[in-house]
């Protein structure tokens, strides 16, 4: 039975465009999901294997058929190997993003990327000091060049461990070392995952999963952290600012350029090119009132928090943006870009432009990005969009009126600044119970969940119970669309959190950036733990990914739990075919790394699990009081 439109999304703007898609006979991600039902139950349980050409093999979950693969692999081995490969793919995605950022940084320092410059010299010098690079007698670009070389070594490092891990509390670092999961070279961990999961290599589920934790840590405390740090140096540390979100940010009388994906290297230039007087004059000649750049997914989050560029939507809204009929150019880089956009843009006047040398899509205009001529490429892309403006078909245009103001850009530095330069006020608020704890809510959209339902309802329940929420990725966009990223949203919070938010002039939900910026949450957690003299696992804090769907999210889960943060997943990972793996991840890890996963699709029940965990941590710290 076809679901009603309101069952697909809680967002009114999305519902309107879904209705338009239905009327125009346009296929969306929801339609393709319905055609896949029922989905393969072996795949959902994680008990199918095609790692060699004797297979594919599958294990009968009811114990009546095959209980071993052809090579003898059990359900435990198959599930663990599949999970390890998923973590490897997710860590590779984040870390390859980081490598590209560092290579741009390196070329900038050598004068080969003239469009870029150092925008935050203080962060450059701070990071250089952390990596043991003395600045005396060196220009900022010389420091940057040495730092870039040092960071690049973190990817292929053969000896020692990742230097970013020195930011964690000493007790956590000691635990990782004892478990043998302290991350080494980023690429080494990913390659080792692939080696271990080849036929005839690692065949012990626990041993396999420990490598998964180490690989996740190489992402969170390696690749993602490096990406965030370098992007802050190149583009500036985000500071609180106001902007708008949702499909209503698209303009009826301006050229609409959407930047979508996860890497801000080119989108920074597109934002700049959209203000070029030559292109603005051309837009006027073409009948447009200006050029409007809007984002989708994490490329959008990056430009949002640094420039206030509006965001048109989350992962599940990328097709809907095109269906408005008002987008002149959909410009994509990598990750979370649906290949369906190629066929979809053919139904409208929209130009679909792909820019990454490593990512092509059907029916795109290929405009590869290279650092040496970044601004020139950005201008060419914006020019194509401007020249496409007269090709709009007025009767095909429907722009929803729904758009929402938001306050964004709460980097760890900005949060500390809002607190007066010290975590003291937050610590005191936690001790006194006004802030009951910290909730880190992150992750994608998943078509299996009513769009934004899990995100918004989980976060509302947390702030109602005085939990200060920090958020990144599509959860951050969903919260913005629901009006939760405004100081006025403190009216939905408990009395204690409301008072804190009003005193500081901040929302009860703090936007900390894109998916790689979960590393900012790690840094903030470490700062709080070090300040209190405890481990991260001792903090009254919990994490959640209510609508996760990507392999990156699995890597994120691995490093968040390995860092000591209890994490609730809202969609079910492909592990239930192995009782041993499921038990280890949801219970056994508590005695190993001091945290574990829980799976709870109902956001209100998920919030209850997080609150119970925070209650227990408060009690252990001697902060037990009535919630």
**336 marked as part of a ligand binding site:** yes
Sign of the dihedral defined by the CA atoms of residues 114, 116, 120, 124, in that order: negative
The answer for residues whose C-beta is within 8 angstroms of residue 540's C-beta and 6 or more apart is 430, 436, 437, 438, 614, 617, 618, 621, 623
Q: How many CB atoms lie within 10 A of CB 159?
A: 6
Q: Residue 524 has which token pair? A: 């903030």
Locate the DSSP E strands across 276-432: 291-296, 311-313, 329-332, 351-354, 365-366, 404-408
Written as six digits, the tokens of 233 are: 């140096």
Alpha helices in 170-315 (DSSP H): 170-179, 186-196, 205-218, 224-235, 264-273, 277-285, 297-307
Alpha carbon of 216 to those of 60, 77, 143, 518: distances in Å?
A: 30, 19, 29, 13
406 is in an annotated binding site: no
- Burial of residue 421 (CB within 10 Å: 0-12, 13-18, 19+) is exposed
CA atoms within 13 A on the CB side of 306: 25
The candidate with the shortest Cα–Cα distance to 489, out of 509, 471, 469, is 509
Q: Is 49 annotated as a binding residue?
A: yes
Q: Which of 256, 284, 282, 281 is nearest to 270 (CA)?
A: 256
β-pair type (311-313, 291-296)? parallel
**474 known member of a binding site:** yes
- Mapping DSSP onto H, E and C, the string for 236-275 reads CCCCCEEEEECHHHCCCCCEEEEEEECCHHHHHHHHHHCC
| Annotated binding-site residue? 444 | yes
**Is 40 marked within a binding site?**
yes
Q: Is 71 annotated as a binding residue?
A: yes
Is the Cβ–Cβ distance between 574 and 46 less than 8 Å?
Answer: yes
Q: Phi/psi of residue 292, each to 5°? A: -115, 115
d(CA 564, CA 560): 7
Q: Whats the size of the chain, residue-wise?
A: 627
Q: What are phi and psi of 406, to 5 degrees?
A: -155, 160
568 bridge partner residues = 544, 598
Of the candidates 588, 587, 535, the one whose C-alpha atom is nearest the C-alpha of residue 565 is: 535
Greatest distance between any 2 Cα atoms in the chain: 73
Is 193 labelled as part of a ligand binding site? no
Query: What residues form the annotated binding site for [Ni-4Fe-4S] cluster?
Result: 262, 298, 336, 444, 474, 515
- Binding-site residues from annotation for [4Fe-4S] cluster: 40, 48-49, 52, 57, 71
Binding residues: 40, 48-49, 52, 57, 71, 262, 298, 336, 444, 474, 515
């Amino acid at each position: 039975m076809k679901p009603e439109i309101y069952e697909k999304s809680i967002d009114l703007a999305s519902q309107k465009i879904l209705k338009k898609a239905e009327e125009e006979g346009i296929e969306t991600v929801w339609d393709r999901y319905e055609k896949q039902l029922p989905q393969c139950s072996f795949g959902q349980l994680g008990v199918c294997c095609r790692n060699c050409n004797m297979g594919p093999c599958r294990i009968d979950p009811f114990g009546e058929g095959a209980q071993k693969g052809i090579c003898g692999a059990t359900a435990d081995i198959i599930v663990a190997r599949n999970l390890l490969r998923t973590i490897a793919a997710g860590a590779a995605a984040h870390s390859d993003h980081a490598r590209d950022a560092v290579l741009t940084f390196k070329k900038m320092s050598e004068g080969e990327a003239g469009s870029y410059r150092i925008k935050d010299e203080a962060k450059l010098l701070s990071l250089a000091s952390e990596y043991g690079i003395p600045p005396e007698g060196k220009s900022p670009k010389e420091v940057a060049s040495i730092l870039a070389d040092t960071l690049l070594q973190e990817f292929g490092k053969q000896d020692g461990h990742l230097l970013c891990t020195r930011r964690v509390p000493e007790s956590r670092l000691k635990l990782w070392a004892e478990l043998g999961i302290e991350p080494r070279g980023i690429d080494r961990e990913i390659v080792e995952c692939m080696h271990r999961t080849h036929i005839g290599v690692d065949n012990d589920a626990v041993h396999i999963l420990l490598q998964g934790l180490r690989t996740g840590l190489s992402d969170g405390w390696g690749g993602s952290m490096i990406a965030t740090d370098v992007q802050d140096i190149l583009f500036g540390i985000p500071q609180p600012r106001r902007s708008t979100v949702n499909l209503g940010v698209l303009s009826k009388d301006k050229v609409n350029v959407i930047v979508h994906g996860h890497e801000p290297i080119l989108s920074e230039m597109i934002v700049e090119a959209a203000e070029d007087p030559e292109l603005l004059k051309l837009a006027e000649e073409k009948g447009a009132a200006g050029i409007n750049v809007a984002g989708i997914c994490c490329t959008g989050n990056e430009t949002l928090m640094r420039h206030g560029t509006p965001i048109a939507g989350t992962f599940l809204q990328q097709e809907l943006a095109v269906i408005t009929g008002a987008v002149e150019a959909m410009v994509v880089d990598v990750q979370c870009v649906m290949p369906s956009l190629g066929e979809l843009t053919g139904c409208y006047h929209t130009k679909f432009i792909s820019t990454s040398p490593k990512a092509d899509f059907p029916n795109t205009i290929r405009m590869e990005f290279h650092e040496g001529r970044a601004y020139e490429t950005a201008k060419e892309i914006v020019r194509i969009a401007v020249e496409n403006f007269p090709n709009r078909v007025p009767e095909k245009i429907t722009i929803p009126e729904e758009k929402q103001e938001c306050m964004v850009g709460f980097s760890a530095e900005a949060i500390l600044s809002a607190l007066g330069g010290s975590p003291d006020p937050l610590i005191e608020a936690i001790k006194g119970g006004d802030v009951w704890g910290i909730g880190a809510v992150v992750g994608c959209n998943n078509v299996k969940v009513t769009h934004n339902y899990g995100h918004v309802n989980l976060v509302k329940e947390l702030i109602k119970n005085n939990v200060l929420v920090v958020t990144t990725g599509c959860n951050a966009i969903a919260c913005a669309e629901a009006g939760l990223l405004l100081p006025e949203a403190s009216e939905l919070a408990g009395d204690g959190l409301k008072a804190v938010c009003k005193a500081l002039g901040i929302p009860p939900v703090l936007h900390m950036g894109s998916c790689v910026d979960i590393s900012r949450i790690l840094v903030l957690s470490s700062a709080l733990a070090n300040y209190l003299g405890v481990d991260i696992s001792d903090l009254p804090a919990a994490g959640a990914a209510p609508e996760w769907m990507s392999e990156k999210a699995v890597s994120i889960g691995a490093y968040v739990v390995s860092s000591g943060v209890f994490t609730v997943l809202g969609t079910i990972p492909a592990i239930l075919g192995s009782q041993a793996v499921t038990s280890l991840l949801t219970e056994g890890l508590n005695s190993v790394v001091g945290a574990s996963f829980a799976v709870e699709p109902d956001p209100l029940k998920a919030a209850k699990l997080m609150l119970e965990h925070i209650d227990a941590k408060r009690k252990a710290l001697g902060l037990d009081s009535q919630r």
